[in-house]
Structure 1
């Protein structure tokens, strides 16, 4: 159904009970056609059977008199007409209205013919009123055809009564009134039935249209879900391909870079003899520092790509936080001495035992400490603070009294390749990936990194690991 049943008029004709909208009425007739065909066939076969069976009592009453022969031939002929209509209506279903009209028309004519052959049938008028009511109520047809057939039957009955029956005028008037009342009763019943059937049709089609719309929506969402799943699969495959390509590329780049860094380190230390020109000393330092920077960039890009693609797997072990902290501080010791910054650690509560990927968390702390040293001027301090919150989550905070971060830059420091400042206080450059990678590694552990900072006062980067990682709390519970 292309038309929406919410928009087309549903009003029916007052006199017929049929839809006022012609297109809608035609759709209703098409919808009802299979039911009408079955119903009409049943009535036609039933009428044919009754016509034939009535031959038996007439034979016992009339014997082999000529009247019986004519009655029998008439009944068999009419039964044949009904059987033919019943068989043909399914094949020529577009003419169902005409077939139904033929059945409605033949029966009154047949009754009048039998009345004529019998010279006045006692049950004629009763049978005619019954046929009129059956035509209105039980024969499935359009109102105009039914009215025409029943009106003709009423006229035939009126003529037959006047010609073949000897009744007083008052009796004839009463019979005519009964015929008219039968028509009125049948007409009202048919009009009501028509209205009820069409209301049921509208209700059914509206419900079906709702089901179809719901099914279409479900299919659309399933198709969208399938498309998203496929896109996600393609994106995952592309991400893994990208990670693999970066891995290969980093391997190819690290080999010559390590050679550059190693040779420049040897030249810088003058292992094979002094560099006579001071300019060469400056150049070799630049080469060495640039090589290290490029190597850090490649390493961070690869680690970030793996974390982004979800290919990083946590190798979890139970780790003593005190041991973890004591192992991290010496790793930034030389950097702190060069920066002339004091690095210390303290615990605000009993040091917990946590279940983590030790290498990944160590990398987070190293990134946070290195970042703090980079932006803390000489004479400043960096502090690694261990604490346990009231909800038993583990807190590892790196606090410095460096230059701080402007408020407008707080949101972008954890984005890849985003930096609050291009260089540290001593001119060091960074990759812009350390904090982004640290946040991803924290989230892999079910935690996150928070940031508090004020310009010229310093910053606090806080790694928060959930209670589930706190083995000390779990053992206590």
Structure 2
């Protein structure tokens, strides 16, 4: 009894038969297996609990931040609108009203984008977003995004380079979702890139035939301990000096949306420090997720 209380799995009374020994060993092995399974379950529960706490904390911080920011933003919009309505600068032909109108349009666009992202994340988490695979060329997506972000790149005097492997097959996936993933990653890279730096986009196949997409910037980089926060819905990193707070009206949903869409298409998004400076976002798609029905370009030449 004392031995059992100290952790002994079972016991035998001498003399015993071989079958009795086998039975005791089997019981001991079963108990060890159950203990190992229990430890694994507890570890998963602990991890899930931490993730739930992080998500809850991120949402609380988001609601607190956005509540104050939206109030300030609506106050600014109301002030601009009142300036136009009261013809504060004289007749409506005065150029100052153009500034007011631009301010109203910019503010409304920011809030509209935040609301759209919140809605998109809700649909993703509810499993209501579907993928519609079809063949497409990844280069076309990158070219379209380069045109879309041309003004944003020029505003910060940023350069952008694209390295697409020559042997990359045609992609067979959801084009719209793939473009949205790249749009979020490129937007994030532009936001954190210092002026006159370069953003590098690359696409290649690894030795196992998987598709590897990367978007690398030369910004302040990311602390490995803060990756989970950056990837959490409504999470936003602030290093204390405002370096990661360039857009105070951002909902902090770009990376979670990109991650969710990548998962929907059978891939996974990761963040890591870029060398010697910055952050690299990597999207990994197993070959069977994006190349199963694809044909190499050489077949069309």
TM range (shorter): 0.5 to 0.7
Conservation of the 8 A alpha-carbon contact between 2:237 and 2:244: no
- Aligned equivalent of 1:401: 218
- Aligned equivalent of 1:449: 269
- Aligned equivalent of 2:55: none
Structure 2 counterparts to residues 32-431 of structure 1, below 5 A: 273-276=93-96, 281=99, 286-421=103-238, 427-429=246-248, 430-431=250-251
TM-score, with length taken from structure 1:
0.40
Cα distance, 1:425–1:412 mapped onto 2, change above 3 Å: closer
Conservation of the 8 A alpha-carbon contact between 2:211 and 2:284: yes
Q: Does 1:432 align with 2:258?
A: no
How far residue 380 of structure 1 moved from its aligned partner, in angstroms, is 0.8
How far residue 402 of structure 1 moved from its aligned partner, in angstroms, is 1.1
Cα distance, 1:419–1:455 mapped onto 2, change above 3 Å: farther
What do residues 118-150 of structure 1 show as CA deviations (whole Å, max 9, x unaligned)?
xxxxxxxxxxxxxxxxxxxxxxxxxxxxxxxxx
1:410 aligned counterpart, secondary structure: helix
Conservation of the 8 A alpha-carbon contact between 1:377 and 1:425: no
User: Quick one: distance in 1 between partners of 2:295 and 2:131?
Assistant: 22
- Aligned equivalent of 2:284: 464
How far residue 384 of structure 1 moved from its aligned partner, in angstroms, is 0.9
Where relative contact order (Cα < 8 A, 6+ residues apart) is larger, the structure is 2
How far residue 288 of structure 1 moved from its aligned partner, in angstroms, is 3.4
Cα distance, 1:273–1:425 mapped onto 2, change above 3 Å: farther
1:288 aligned counterpart, secondary structure: helix
2:246 aligned counterpart, secondary structure: coil
How far residue 389 of structure 1 moved from its aligned partner, in angstroms, is 0.8
1:411 aligned counterpart, secondary structure: helix
What do residues 63-85 of structure 1 show as CA deviations (whole Å, max 9, x unaligned)?
xxxxxxxxxxxxxxxxxxxxxxx
Conservation of the 8 A alpha-carbon contact between 1:352 and 1:470: no
- Aligned equivalent of 1:4: none
What do residues 186-209 of structure 1 show as CA deviations (whole Å, max 9, x unaligned)?
xxxxxxxxxxxxxxxxxxxxxxxx
1:313 aligned counterpart, secondary structure: coil
- Aligned equivalent of 2:65: none
Cα distance, 1:298–1:424 mapped onto 2, change above 3 Å: farther
Cα distance, 1:346–1:472 mapped onto 2, change above 3 Å: farther
In structure 2, runs of 5+ residues without a counterpart are 1-73, 85-91, 297-301
Cα distance, 1:366–1:424 mapped onto 2, change above 3 Å: farther
Conservation of the 8 A alpha-carbon contact between 2:221 and 2:274: yes
Cα distance, 1:314–1:473 mapped onto 2, change above 3 Å: closer
TM-score, with length taken from structure 2:
0.62
